[in-house]
Structure 1
């Protein structure tokens, strides 16, 4: 397990995730097709030539999933009890085939759970950044995170 427990998150903390991913045409076409998002801006090269971008756009929901997924090994793998939701999602710049995405997570807030004594709530801000250092995805997510097991907490003190 490589995720962090609730107690290991501090507001203001930033995590630069090691994993980066170059987005391919196959990623975009497959994801758009599987989710039945048949918008020509994602699938039709000829149509997209005449768009404001001059080329196909990568499906923004794929980018949200990629950005969220990249964060898992270093934040929540094995230590999350659930994703409580996304408060805000923005896509300030488009993503195109061949763009490489890296992710930075900022811890916005932590608080004790009001209904569970074995967990706490962490608000994450995930920033997807392309190879030109442009933010392409800005997502605020709330997760229910496990507290450190009692035997580990006792050993740590």
Structure 2
């Protein structure tokens, strides 16, 4: 299955015969799907399928709802009024509740997984240089782009490697709302 963009922001399917004339944009245009040990198809890439500078424009997007923010704040025991109290938040510089930043971060990683690490990750080793340059509010639609920043073979695990991914999240106004550099321990293609 291949995709190309039209004038609309949503991707549309194109035939494989036209795929060679279309610049690679989505994961399915670049590499075959990975397979697990049983031969089942997985969406993620193995360590040796990544290249430094490789970019992903993730197709999945998500609109954050007020109920998402309330549920996440309650589940994580975060009673901060800036997230859950409309009256309090109306008197802040933002004028309304902010989406919990850890919900935003989790969504950023989650939106990137299917194209990059789904089924092929051993562990997320480190999240660093995380920033939230603009606030996120209920009703914002988040999309994510990812770039492979570095690759390194694991010194202690010969069948695995470390991939450094830079995730950048945008709202519906194309404002950057989150950036995060993630170090993931990945499986290599099985021998």
Identify the residue that residue 107 of structure 1 maps to in structure 2. 148
Aligned equivalents of 1:87, 1:32: Cα separation in 2? 22
TM-score (norm 1): 0.94
What's the Cα RMSD here?
0.6
TM-score (norm 2): 0.77
Moved over 6 A (4+): none
Aligned equivalents of 2:121, 2:45: Cα separation in 1? 9
Q: Which structure 1 residue ranges, 5 or more long, are not aligned?
A: 151-157
Matched, 1:128 2:178: no
Q: What are the superposed Cα offsets for residues 1-60 of structure 1, whole Å, 9 maximum, x if unpaired?
A: 110011111111110001000000000001001111111000010111110111110000
Which of these residues, 75, 87, 92, is aligned with residue 133 of structure 2?
A: 92
Matched, 1:48 2:89: yes
Q: Which structure 2 residue ranges, 5 or more long, are not aligned?
A: 1-41
Aligned equivalents of 1:105, 1:128: Cα separation in 2? 9
Name whichever structure is richer in helix by fraction: 1
Larger RCO (CA under 8 A, 6+ residues apart): 1
Q: How many residues are matched?
A: 150
Aligned equivalents of 1:107, 1:60: Cα separation in 2? 23
